[in-house]
């Protein structure tokens, strides 16, 4: 068929939005247009990829369809809009340079090394054989190296590495896998690996690697520069070095993640099912929480008292090189920071801030523009449950059920993430950290500026938690500059978060169970049943208030919480109980006086604290060295046997009284019942409580959708049992699968609530 009959020719301008930059979209469009015999052009703009195609009507229409259906693996097409233009003739199809301008495109997250690159990397005849920075259009760094839009090499931290002639040829060839792949490099033109060791001369490239290997085998701790920051790395099988790392990092008992050389190595230390394997090997390569294999060759100090291991596979070529010689095939790989501080990204800072932590530094001269921690995921019922949503996920947007005006939700103070929203999209940030030090606050500000820059969102509204002393809230008030600031109740935000990620409209029966959130009555909430929509909520039920003795001290000492719960339930402090023994004489007396005279006791309905109490009463954990340790360890010992029965809560109107549960726990513990059985009966009791309260709300209000949120629902045993019981009872269950149920997902809910807020304030259901 001839293309010269101009009367039959049509020209169409096609705007494609979504994640379409840095993912090989223009070469894809180029090949597609040529295959269809179309002339025209394609370019990146800040609004998206714009193609003009010209030819017979049939192929032009096919182009409009296939630009969506055949898109490259990393692309996510949100919209395709076409308009007719007058034909201009011509036979060429050209790729235009990028133009900056108004509008919005979506930036891809960082992506693990692809199979094609790995094959070249392993091929001695390839010019990128063992190149620590191999990448292509389908893989490599994105988010962490982009300094501005549109996404082109000058707007990345690779700007300082001019392409050599070979790389330039690939970059310019539309038929090449590296066509316009911004981070590409080779040994001739790319960044250089270096090993810095105090007192020794700096080693480069293969010498640096050889020295790094020797150090790892010798039991040293290395700081290794990754995609989104430095890791501290050591042999996971070496109890002595892992213990040293734990001490240097001031880490308490909080588990370290490990990196296994490959899937086989992961299988040797942990149980990996099909869903786990898909996550471990997929483009995101998160840390996956896996059940540890009995007798696994991993030092006890990696995850003390924890039946799970956080495992990931190498996701950069440099990681591959750490494993390619005889030596440890499982490495501890933990964020390069002191406990609580943000991850270190800057090379000079790495050498100063990690000075007491690392013995040597394996780094390179490709700068990291923004930090991005490893993501953490666990599989529950073959479904992804995000625990930390960062590398590989951020800044991928979440499409909202309701359009929002340009807004910034600042999240909470623990495990902070923030969220920018505009129109249909919400961009949840990468993990920022706990907002208790200046460094984290500065990291928050930098990350917020960067995300504004990438998304083009200029917030005209700020959204915060209602806690008056949250630093995130204070930051928003200080930086409002005349913009409106809206406060959203903590547990309402949790529920709105899970509703928003499911694009759910309408009211839900919401169970928001967590450790701590500021309640509308000034109490510490955390065991909340809210009938809620985005507009507001009614508090339908909550755990009965008990005193939280000494605030943070009560949180750090689960045994004290156990005694507070016993007192509230009218149960004696029997000296045979593990919690009473754990406290001992002086602490008991002090606690007794504190509770009797009501000194520094905040009333709390926290479900997290009830977990602490039961964990301690069962003799599992009396002192918490990291957040939720007592609950995590209780879950860890809990028997999977479903025929063990359940304790029972008492429900009186709005109040859920755990007294009968505690009486049951005490009876069992004194009778010598195993902690695993106590744990099973407690988890079962909670699942049954949720179903009972959901049925009550269904009968009273006709609601049939249940939302589960809050940090307690990281608990696999509880989440799985609750979902099954609710589903069996005919409820639709909304649970987290895209953002964490913890405070790390709070900002999304804040944004969704604020989107609906009337200027006068929020209404109620």
Q: Contact positions toward Zn ion, by CB under 5 A?
A: 114, 117, 136, 138-139, 164, 167, 186, 188-189
Q: Which does 743 bind (CB under 5 to 8 A by kind): Fe ion, Zn ion, none?
A: Fe ion
Nearer CB in complex with Fe ion: 658/711:
711
Residue 502 C-beta: closest distance to Zn ion, Å: 33
Stretch that binds Fe ion, among 60-68, 90-98, 654-662, 742-750 (CB under 5 A): 742-750
SS3 of 469-532: CCHHHHHHHHCCCCCEEEEECHHHHHHHHHHHHCCCCCCEEEEEEEEEEECCCCCEEEEEEEEE
Residue 612's binding partner, choosing from Zn ion, Fe ion, none, with beta-carbon cut-off 5 to 8 A by kind? none
Provide the residue count of the chain.
765
Nearest to 582 by CA among 612, 607, 604: 612
Q: 116: buried, middle or exposed (CB in 10 Å: 19+, 13-18, 0-12)?
A: middle
Residues 410 and 751: their CA atoms lie apart, in Å, by 9
Minimum Å gap between C-beta 331 and Zn ion is 23
Alpha helices in 191-343 (DSSP H): 205-217, 239-249, 263-269, 274-281, 317-322
Contact indicator for 179, 24 with CB cutoff of 8 Å: yes
411 or 517: CB nearest Fe ion: 517
Instruction: Give the shortest CB-391-to-Fe ion separation in angstroms.
Output: 23
- Could you tell me the two tokens for 44? 């990146």
421: exposed, middle or buried (Cβ count in 10 Å: 0-12, 13-18, 19+)? buried
Spatial strand order of the sheet with 39-45 comes to: 76-85, 9-19, 48-56, 39-45, 93-95
From Fe ion, Zn ion, none, interface partner of 164 (C-beta below 5 to 8 A by class): Zn ion
The entry of Fe ion, Zn ion, none that residue 167 binds, CB within 5 to 8 Å by partner kind: Zn ion
Q: Which of 703, 743, 752, 755 binds Fe ion (CB under 5 A)?
A: 743
747 contact choice in Fe ion, Zn ion, none (CB below 5 to 8 Å, kind-dependent): none
Q: How far is the CB of 649 from Fe ion (least distance, A)?
A: 21
Given the complex with Zn ion, which of 117 and 703 has the nearer CB atom? 117
Of the pair 188, 438, the CB lying nearest Zn ion is at 188
Contact with Fe ion (CB under 5 A) among 276, 373, 501, 514? 514
Query: Residue 471: CB partners within 8 Å, gap ≥ 6?
Result: 413, 435, 436, 441
Q: Choose among Zn ion, Fe ion, none what residue 235 binds, the Cβ cut-off being 5 to 8 Å by kind.
A: none
Judged by CB under 5 A, which stretch of 94-102, 113-121, 180-188, 511-519 contacts Fe ion? 511-519
**Beta bridge partners of residue 196, listed in sequence order:** 361
Whole-number Å distance between alpha carbons of 188 and 691: 64
Could you tell me which stretch among 199-207, 422-430, 438-446, 517-525 binds Fe ion (CB under 5 A)?
Answer: 517-525
Q: At 127, is the secondary structure helix, strand, or coil?
A: coil
- Minimum CB separation from Fe ion for residue 518, in Å? 10
Minimum CB separation from Zn ion for residue 152, in Å? 17
Q: How far is the CB of 145 from Zn ion (least distance, A)?
A: 15
For residue 288, what are its two tokens?
Answer: 């996956």
Binding at 514: pick from Fe ion, Zn ion, none (beta carbon under 5-8 Å per type): Fe ion
Q: Which does 136 bind (CB under 5 to 8 A by kind): Fe ion, Zn ion, none?
A: Zn ion
Q: Is the dihedral of CA 301, 305, 307, 310 positive or negative?
A: negative
Binding mask 461-500 toward Fe ion (x if CB under 5 A, else -) reads: ----------------------------------------
Beta carbon nearer to Fe ion, 237 or 517: 517
Q: Which residues bind Fe ion (CB under 5 A)?
A: 514, 517, 743
């Amino acid at each position: 068929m001839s293309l010269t009959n101009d009367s039959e020719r049509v020209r169409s301008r096609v705007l494609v939005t979504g994640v379409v930059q840095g993912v090989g979209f223009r070469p894809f469009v180029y090949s597609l247009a040529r295959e269809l015999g179309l002339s025209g052009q394609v370019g990146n703009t800040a609004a998206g990829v714009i193609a003009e195609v010209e030819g017979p009507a049939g192929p032009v229409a096919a182009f409009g369809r296939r630009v969506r259906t055949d898109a490259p693996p990393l692309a996510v097409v949100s919209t395709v809009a076409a308009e007719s233009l007058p034909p201009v003739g011509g036979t060429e199809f050209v790729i235009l340079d990028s133009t900056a301008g108004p509008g919005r495109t979506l930036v891809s997250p960082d992506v693990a090394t692809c199979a094609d690159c790995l094959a070249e990397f392993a091929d001695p005849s390839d010019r990128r054989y063992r190149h620590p920075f191999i990448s292509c259009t389908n893989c490599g760094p994105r988010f962490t190296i982009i300094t501005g839009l549109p996404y082109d090499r000058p707007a990345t931290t690779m700007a300082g590495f001019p392409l050599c002639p070979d790389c330039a040829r690939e970059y310019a060839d539309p038929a090449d896998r590296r066509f316009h792949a911004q981070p590409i490099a080779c040994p001739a033109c790319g960044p250089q690996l270096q090993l810095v060791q105090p007192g020794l001369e700096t080693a480069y490239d293969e010498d640096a690697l050889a020295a790094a290997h020797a150090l790892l085998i010798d039991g040293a701790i290395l700081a290794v520069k990754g995609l989104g920051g430095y890791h501290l790395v050591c042999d996971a099988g070496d109890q002595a070095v892992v213990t040293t790392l734990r001490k240097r990092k001031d880490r308490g008992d909080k588990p370290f993640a490990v990196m296994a050389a490959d899937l086989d190595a992961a299988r040797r230390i942990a149980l990996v099912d099909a869903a786990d394997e898909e996550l471990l090997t997929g483009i995101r390569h998160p840390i996956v929480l896996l059940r540890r294999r009995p007798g696994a060759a991993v030092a006890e100090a990696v995850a003390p008292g924890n039946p799970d291991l956080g495992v990931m596979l190498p996701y950069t070529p440099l990681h591959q090189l750490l494993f390619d010689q005889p030596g440890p095939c499982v490495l501890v790989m933990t964020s390069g920071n002191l406990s609580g501080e943000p991850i270190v990204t800057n090379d000079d800072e790495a050498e100063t801030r990690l000075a007491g932590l690392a013995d040597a530094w394996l780094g390179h001269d490709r700068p990291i523009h923004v930090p991005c921690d490893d993501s953490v995921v666990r599989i529950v019922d073959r479904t992804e449950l995000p625990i930390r949503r960062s590398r590989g996920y951020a800044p991928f947007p979440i499409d909202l059920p309701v359009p929002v005006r340009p807004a910034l939700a600042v999240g909470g103070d623990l495990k902070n993430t923030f969220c920018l929203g505009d129109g249909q999209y919400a961009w949840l940030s990468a993990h920022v950290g706990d907002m208790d030090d200046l460094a984290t606050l500065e990291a928050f500000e930098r990350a917020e500026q960067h995300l504004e820059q990438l998304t083009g969102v200029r917030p005209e509204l700020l959204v915060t938690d209602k806690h008056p002393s949250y630093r995130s809230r204070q930051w928003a008030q200080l930086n409002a500059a005349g913009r409106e600031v809206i406060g959203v109740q903590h547990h309402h935000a949790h529920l709105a978060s899970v509703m928003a990620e499911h694009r759910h409209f309408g009211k839900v029966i919401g169970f928001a169970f967590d450790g701590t959130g500021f309640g509308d009555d000034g109490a510490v909430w955390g065991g909340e049943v809210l009938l809620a929509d985005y507009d507001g909520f009614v508090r339908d039920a909550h755990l009965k208030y008990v005193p939280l003795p000494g605030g943070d001290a009560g949180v750090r000492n689960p045994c004290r919480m156990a005694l507070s719960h016993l007192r509230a339930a009218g149960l004696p402090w029997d000296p045979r109980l593990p919690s009473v023994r754990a406290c001992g004489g002086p602490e008991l007396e002090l606690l007794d006086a504190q509770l009797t005279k009501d000194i520094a006791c905040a009333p709390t309905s926290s479900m997290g604290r009830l977990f602490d109490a039961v964990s301690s009463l069962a003799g599992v954990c009396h002192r918490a060295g990291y957040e939720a340790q007592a609950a995590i360890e209780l879950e860890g010992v809990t028997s999977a046997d479903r025929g063990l029965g359940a304790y029972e809560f008492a429900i009186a109107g709005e109040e859920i009284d755990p007294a009968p549960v505690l009486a049951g726990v005490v009876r069992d513990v004194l009778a010598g019942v195993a902690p695993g059985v106590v744990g099973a009966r407690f988890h079962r009791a909670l699942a049954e409580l949720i179903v009972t309260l959901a049925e009550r709300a269904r009968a009273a209000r006709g609601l049939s959708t249940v939302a589960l949120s809050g940090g307690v629902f990281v608990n696999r045993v509880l989440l799985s049992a609750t979902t099954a019981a609710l589903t069996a009872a005919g409820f639709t269950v909304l649970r987290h699968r895209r953002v964490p149920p913890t405070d790390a997902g709070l900002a999304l809910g804040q944004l969704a609530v604020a989107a609906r807020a009337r200027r006068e304030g929020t209404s109620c259901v």
